[in-house]
Amino acid sequence: MRSRITRRVRIKTPDLNLVDRVKGHIDAIVTAAFQAIFPDRITIQYPRERRDVPDNFRGMIQFDINKCISCFQCSFVCPANAIMMRGAPDGRYYPCIDYTRCIFCHFCVDTCPRGALLRTKIHDVAFSSMEEMFATTEELIEPPEMLREDDTVIRYRIENGDLVLEKIEEIAELSTRPEIQVSPAKLSACAHPENCIACTLCYLTCPSNAISVKVVEGKRTFEIDPKLCTGCGLCVKECPTCTLTLIER
């Protein structure tokens, strides 16, 4: 094992004589004095100026209700249990985010199969109470309100081997463009009709009314409408005999 580490740098501590010491003192003082005259400032005066952040910035989360398929995956993957799925009047379940718990790992955003959760560049919203930090679905649809004082964007740039703070006189755009997401193309279907006990739970669960049930002559007929089915998998989860499954479209 040891023989593998053949390349090594020896670190020696210097033995200083008087000349070295005086030189060291002078070096330190000159360096500081140089900075005092030509400072390499990197401070950003935050509420007035704002750091330029990339589009993939993990800020507060915005929600596009039209794309959500109530698949619950965001709430399943959340490591901090910050996402609660709340029943909406239309019978579906939509996420609410508890920002007291959210750790901004954006696992949920990376999980969402339809791109219904959007990243924003907002990270600095002040809340006046703990209750307010619970963002309901309605609050998630619009980007959170915040007081803006900034009129300048600061961008880090490296020029000639040194850091330059580039100042751009503009008000930073904080929302990001939704990334176009390929539809997951899943469809609910019955894999084992012989297992079905005709319990109609799938029909009762389906948030988009894609499953219809008819009773004809002592037989219960189930039908899945592929146009309405969003592939959310709720019926698959509910089915007591595991007859339903998700298939590729």
Partner 1 sequence: MAEACYLCWEVELPERRKKGMKYFGILKEFVIDSGICSHCTTCANICPVRGITAGDKPIDFPNWIELCVDCGACIRVCPRWNYVPLKGMGDYIEILGAKSKRFRGQDGGLVTEIIASAMEMGEIDRAIFVGRDDEWKPVIIHVKSVEQLEGERIRGTKYSFADVIVELRDAVFHTEKGVGVIGTPCMVSGVRKLQKVVKRYSENVKLVVGLFCTENFYHHQLSEFLAEKGIDLTKAVKTDIKKGKFIVEFEDGSKTSFSVKEFDEIIPSGCKVCQDFSGVESDVSVGSVGTPDGYSTVMVRTEIAKKIMDYIRKKDYVEFTEPKPAVVEKLVKYKVKIHPYPPEKKE
Partner 2 sequence: MAVSGTSRQKQTDEVMELTLVNTVFQIFSSNMMDIPVIKPLVDVLMTVPIVKYLVALILWKPFFAVILVPGLTGLMLSLLFIIWFERKLTARIQWRMGPLEISRSIGGILQPLADGMRYFFQEIIIHKEAHRPYFVQFPILAFIPVLLPVLFIPAGTVYAIRTPYALPVIVSLISMIPVVIMAIGWASNSRLAFIGTVREAFMYFGYEIPFIIAVLAMAVLYGTSDLYLIVEKQRVWGIALNPISALVFLITMAMATSRLPFEIAEADQEIAFGPFVEYSGILFGLTMTLAYEKMYILGLLFSVLFLGGGSGPPLPFLGDLTPVIWLYIKAVIIMCIMAFLRAVYPRYRIDQALRLGWTYLAGLAVVSVVIAGLISAGGLLP
Partner 3 sequence: MREEYLDIPVEPPAEFQPLFVPIPREYVENAFRSDEFIVLVGPQHPGSGHMRIVVRIKGDIIVDALPEPGYVHRSMEKLAENRLYIQNIPLFERPSIMDSSNYNVGYVRAIEDALDIEVPERARYIRTIFCELSRIGTHLYDAGIFSVFLGHTTGFMWPFGLRELICEANLRATGTRVTTSFIVPGGVRADVDDSVLKFIYDSMGVIEKRMKGFEKIFIKNPAVIARLKDVGVLTKEEAIRYGVVGPFLRASGVAYDVRKVEGYDAYDELEWEVPVGDDGDAYTRFLVRVEEISQSIKIIRQAIKNIPRGPILSDDLIGKLKEKDQVRKNIKGYFYRIFSRIRLPQGEFTSQTEAGRGLLLYSIVSDGESNVPYRVRMVTPGWLYLKGFMESLKGSRLADLQAIYGSFGYFPPEADR
Stretch that binds partner 2, among 31-39, 93-101, 181-189, 207-215 (CB under 8 A): 31-39
CB-based contact 92:67 (threshold 8 Å): no
Cα–Cα distance between 65 and 63 in angstroms, integer?
6
In a 3-state reduction of DSSP, which class is residue 113? Answer: coil
Number of residues that bind partner 2 (CB under 8 A): 12
228 closest CA partner among 194, 187, 197: 187
Q: How far is the CB of 77 from partner 1 (least distance, A)?
A: 23
What DSSP designation does 38 have?
A: S
C-alpha span between 171 and 204 (Å, rounded): 49
The first and second tokens of residue 102, run together, are 């959210």
Distance in Å, CB of 91 to partner 1, minimum: 16
Interface with partner 1 includes 204 (CB under 8 A)?
yes
Of 148, 188, 195, whose CA–CA distance to 172 is shortest? 148
Stretch that binds partner 2, among 33-41, 56-64, 74-82, 199-207 (CB under 8 A): 33-41
Side-chain-side CA neighbours of residue 85 (13 Å): 17
- Binding-site member from 20, 22, 23, 42 for partner 2 (CB under 8 A): 42
Residue 45 contacts which entry, partner 1, partner 3, partner 2, none (Cβ below 5-8 A, type-dependent): partner 2
Q: Could you tell me the smallest distance in angstroms from the CB atom of residue 158 to partner 3?
A: 4
Residue reference for tokens 């990243």: 119
Q: Which of 167, 192, 237, 249 binds partner 1 (CB under 8 A)?
A: 192
Compare residues 39 and 218 and give the one whose CB is closer to partner 2: 39
State which of positions 220-239 bind partner 1 (CB under 8 A).
Answer: 220-224, 226
Which residues contribute to the site for partner 2 (CB under 8 A)?
28-29, 32-33, 35-36, 39-43, 45
